[in-house]
Amino acid sequence: MTYVDLTTEIETFIKNILSDTTYTVEQRLGFAYGSYLTWHALIKGTFKPEDDRRLWLLTQPHYD
């Protein structure tokens, strides 16, 4: 997988898990953050800062 493929897959997974209603909000955020950490482990520091920030922001709780 290329960097772009991997980043796209992780981003899609994070968005999907956050919209799933099977798990609690805390569980979904935990799964999302775990995916973000997995992305970091797989790309080994070769990330683009804008991708890092976008994925990290997805894993943060959003309150209205």
Please tell me which residue, 61 or 35, carries the higher pLDDT value. Answer: 35
> 54: closest CA among 14, 2, 23?
14
Here the tokens at position 15 are: 């968005």
Model pTM score: 0.85
Given a contact cutoff of 8 angstroms between Cβ atoms, the answer to whether 29 and 59 are in contact is: yes
Given a contact cutoff of 8 angstroms between Cβ atoms, the answer to whether 55 and 33 are in contact is: no
Q: What is the pLDDT of residues 40-58, one digit of tens each?
A: 999 988 999 999 999 999 9
Q: Where are the domains of the chain?
A: 3-58
The pLDDT assigned to 63 comes to: 55
Given a contact cutoff of 8 angstroms between Cβ atoms, the answer to whether 32 and 14 are in contact is: yes
